[in-house]
Amino acid sequence: MIEINNVSKVFKQRKGEPYTVLDQVSFHVERGQFVSLLGPSGCGKSTLLNLIAGFETSYEGSITVNGQSITSPGPDRVVVFQEHGLFPWLTVLDNVAFGLKQRGLSKKARYELAYEQIKAVHLSKFVERYPHELSGGMKQRVAIARALVMDPEILLMDEPFAALDEQTRYILQKDLEEIWQKTRKTILFITHNIREAILLSERVLVMSTQPGRIRQEFSVQAARPHALEDPLIHSLETRILAVLTDELDKIVQGEIDHEYSI
């Protein structure tokens, strides 16, 4: 269970006022839940994820995972990055087995586990390939396998499908939904794509920007697997869009500095 209480984060700028990215953000994620953080770029959602992952440790408020506050990155909270972050000098198999190697598993044991996980993301034909030989979607599958093989309690996903084309993204979303239903990991999923958030998660937290706050929460009570044709999903999309349009207006105004509306 992830508990985030009154978390604020301020970046000092070289010139001018310090910049408040996150302002008094609070929410909880129950064990086994699939929660999306949805917001326009610059709302601090990635910053928040980096705090939970432990990549950054200076902030106000408290972040705890199972009651323990976070001091460093750890294999219980594995991140899937937008830019896959695979090691180009290792094969797919070695990339996936990397975390197990750090755990001290024997070569045979870690290759067996890694191979199983690679099979689960449908890439068993490509175990001996290097990352640059794979397509964007395949790389992201490897990244997911690399995260799952560690058997973490929490999966933190930082816009993992944002750089993929529409079709690939759709397929990966379906796969992720399936993986979640099978494994019931706690997933915190960051995205700026409304449809993606609704299709995948049980709860969608919409963030406001400048400073980043949780603006509104929506729960998705549609039957699994979530389908676009479901009227429930459809109406939710319209409602969230209305909230986000407000926020986008604010950004545009801030950026071009005169009256403007979408």
Find the angle CA(116)-CA(197)-CA(23) to the nearest 5 degrees: 115
C-alpha pair distances (Å), 63 with each of 52, 109, 159, 179 = 7, 34, 21, 26
Does the bond joining 211 to the residue before it have cis omega, within 30 degrees of 0?
yes
User: Is the Cβ of residue 4 or residue 53 nearer to other proteins in the bound state?
Assistant: 53
E strands, the chain, are 2-11, 19-29, 34-38, 60-65, 68-69, 77-80, 154-158, 186-191, 203-208, 213-219
Is the Cβ of residue 186 or residue 208 nearer to other proteins in the bound state?
186
Q: Specify the residue, 142 or 244, whose C-beta has the smaller distance to other proteins.
A: 142
Q: Which is nearer to other proteins, 103 or 224 (CB)?
A: 103
Q: Which is nearer to other proteins, 1 or 105 (CB)?
A: 105
Spatial contact of 179 and 186, defined as CB atoms under 8 Å apart: no
Place of tokens 């729960």: 219
Instruction: In angstroms, give the least distance from the CB of 79 to other proteins.
Output: 6
Q: Could you give the CA distance from residue 5 to residue 113 in angstroms, rounded to a whole number?
A: 37
Cβ 56 to other proteins shortest distance, Å: 10
In angstroms, what is the minimal distance from the CB of 155 to other proteins?
12
CB of 89 to other proteins, least distance (A): 4
In the bound complex, what is the minimum distance in angstroms from residue 101's beta carbon to other proteins? Answer: 8
Binding site for other proteins (CB under 8 A): 53, 55, 72-75, 77-79, 81, 83, 85-89, 98-99, 101-103, 130-133, 146, 150
For the bound state, the minimum distance from the C-beta of residue 55 to other proteins, rounded and expressed in Å, comes to 5
- Which is closer to other proteins, CB of 105 or CB of 243? 105
Q: Is the dihedral of CA 213, 215, 220, 221 positive or negative?
A: positive
Tokens of 173: 């979303």
